[in-house]
């Protein structure tokens, strides 16, 4: 009989690990296709957005990115309600289906030269579908994982989900690298088609495992409380998650969308830029997992998650400045170091940021509260960041690193004030 508790614990651990796998699988695929649009902009902008005398195809591509990200937070209202009402697993399966359909559509979409203005209109429409999907998946997967794994594993849960997302981005960057060396003009279509195939496989695995594990809807969730009531009752929680989502979006889009076109304009070859990005996201994966383990094993035992995050914001303000300084060098070895340092910084920030975001709202309204505030913060700032950085970089190549470092410091100041009123942090 001594072994019975151990068997019970093992059974729970196996179930938790399978549920974590469900979250990781979809999260990786979701970020692959969501980021792929930005990665492929240098290859598809001229095909869908016509050049004008005042604005280039690249800038129009950035504007489409910003427009879509500003619209898609509306989807978070639906996903938040759906997740609280019917369960996170069901929500994640449905959201991934949206992304699969949009990816397939983009892969076969005619260009501007073939159907005129319908091409950019349809491209933006399917990109909106991707954004709606991502508003349910990207933060939803982390909520799901930390809820299942429990308080003692917040660090590793957050880090594994972060690392799985980085794997998706890594695959997107690799597709960008292949596109840069491929002699096939429309290689980008294959990259989106691959996303659809992987999503279909991922959705099938998710549905199968959810049935095996008996994951059911959350019928006890609050059915009445509206989003506006949640914001009114939790204003500082809303502000905290909003500003952290904004910073994560700014940081991620600076690295995933802006850096490569910026470096290519400075003379770095496409092959080198996308090749260096691969190293960057390997760094994200390694740092995220290492930092998550360190948080669980050591840091959370001696200080709060909020304290860890505040130190990380100050640290990354300096680190991002150093990374951009290396990127501005004409030495390729320094450029590679800049990519790697920037990738590692994203891994550390995303890991601890997600823990604070998860803890901010009470469990009864967590999906709705977190998803709306995170999506609004990320949506308002992430999509516009590449456009802003592109504009200011034309005035001075040093302005992007000042902008990013300043954003970290501003996030620290706002977080310090808002978090005073959030008890759980």
The owner of tokens 């496409």 is: 270
When computed from its CA atoms, the radius of gyration of the chain, rounded to whole angstroms, is: 21
Q: How far is CA 80 from CA 83, 194, 285, 305, in A?
A: 5, 29, 28, 24
Q: How far apart are CA 397 and CA 386, in angstroms?
A: 14
What is the per-residue pLDDT across 388-404, written as a single tens digit (0 to 9) for each? 898 899 899 999 999 99
| Domains of the chain: residue spans and CATH | 10-420 (1.20.1250.20)
pLDDT at 7 (0 to 100): 36
Show the tokens assigned to 193. 């088609």
Q: How confident is the model at residue 224 (pLDDT cuts 50, 70, 90)?
A: very low
Q: How confident is the model at residue 321 (pLDDT cuts 50, 70, 90)?
A: very high
Among the listed ranges 58-62, 75-79, 221-225, 396-400, which one has the minimum average pLDDT value? Answer: 221-225
Among the listed residues 189, 225, 155, the one whose alpha carbon sits nearest the alpha carbon of residue 372: 225
With H, G, I as helix, E, B as strand and everything else as coil, classify residue 9. helix
Q: What is the mean pLDDT of residues 173-186?
A: 87
Q: How confident is the model at residue 6 (pLDDT cuts 50, 70, 90)?
A: very low
- For the chain, what is the mean pLDDT? 81
pLDDT at 222 (0 to 100): 46
Q: What is the mean pLDDT of residues 301-320?
A: 92
Question: Would the pLDDT of 193 be above 60?
Answer: yes
pLDDT at 398 (0 to 100): 92
Q: How confident is the model at residue 279 (pLDDT cuts 50, 70, 90)?
A: very high
pLDDT at 9 (0 to 100): 45
What is the per-residue pLDDT across 129-163, written as a single tens digit (0 to 9) for each? 877 777 666 676 777 778 777 777 888 888 888 88
**How many alpha carbons lie under 13 Å from residue 138 in its C-beta half-sphere?**
30
Question: Would the pLDDT of 387 be above 70?
Answer: yes
Q: What is the mean pLDDT of residues 327-341?
A: 94
Q: How far apart are CA 281 and CA 260, in angstroms?
A: 13
Helix axes 140-149, 118-137, angle to 10 degrees: 20
pLDDT at 405 (0 to 100): 94
């Amino acid at each position: 009989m001594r072994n019975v508790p151990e068997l019970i614990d093992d059974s729970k651990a196996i179930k938790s690990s399978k549920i974590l796998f469900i979250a990781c699988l979809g999260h990786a695929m979701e970020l692959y296709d969501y980021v792929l649009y930005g990665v492929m902009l240098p290859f598809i902008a001229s095909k869908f957005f016509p050049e004008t005398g005042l604005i280039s195809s690249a800038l129009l591509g950035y504007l489409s990115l910003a427009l879509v990200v500003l619209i898609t937070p509306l989807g978070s209202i639906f996903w938040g309600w759906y997740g609280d009402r019917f369960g996170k697993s069901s929500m994640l399966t449905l959201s991934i289906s949206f992304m699969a359909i949009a990816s397939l559509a983009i892969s076969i979409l005619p260009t501007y030269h073939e159907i005129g203005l319908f091409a950019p209109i349809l491209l933006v429409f399917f990109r909106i579908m991707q954004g709606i999907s991502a508003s349910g998946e990207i933060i939803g997967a982390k909520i799901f994982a930390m809820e299942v794994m429990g308080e003692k594993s917040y660090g590793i849960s957050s880090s594994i989900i972060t690392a799985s997302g980085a794997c998706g981005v890594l695959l997107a960057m690799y597709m960008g690298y292949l596109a840069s060396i491929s002699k096939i003009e429309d290689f980008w279509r294959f990259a989106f088609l691959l996303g659809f195939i992987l999503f279909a496989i991922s959705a099938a695995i998710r549905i199968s495992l959810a049935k095996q594990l008996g994951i059911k809807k959350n019928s006890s969730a609050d059915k009445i409380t509206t989003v506006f009531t949640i914001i009114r009752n939790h204003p500082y929680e809303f502000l905290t998650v909003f500003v952290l989502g904004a910073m994560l979006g700014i940081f991620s889009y600076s690295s995933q969308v802006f850096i490569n076109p910026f470096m290519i304009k400075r003379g770095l070859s496409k092959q080198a830029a996308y090749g260096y990005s691969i190293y960057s996201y390997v760094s994200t994966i390694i740092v995220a997992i290492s930092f998550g383990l360190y948080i669980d094993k050591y840091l959370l035992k001696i200080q709060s998650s909020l304290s860890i995050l505040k130190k990380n914001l100050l640290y990354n303000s300096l680190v991002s400045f150093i990374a951009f300084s290396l990127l501005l060098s004409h030495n390729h070895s320094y450029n590679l170091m800049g990519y790697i340092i920037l990738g590692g910084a994203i891994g550390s920030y995303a890991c601890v940021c997600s823990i604070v975001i998860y803890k901010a709202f009470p469990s009864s309204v967590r999906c709705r509260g977190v998803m709306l505030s995170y999506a609004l913060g990320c949506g308002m700032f992430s999509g516009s960041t590449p456009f802003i950085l592109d504009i200011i970089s034309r005035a001075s190549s040093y302005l992007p690193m000042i902008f990013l470092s300043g954003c970290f410091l501003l996030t620290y100041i706002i977080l310090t004030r808002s978090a005073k009123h959030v008890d759980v942090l």
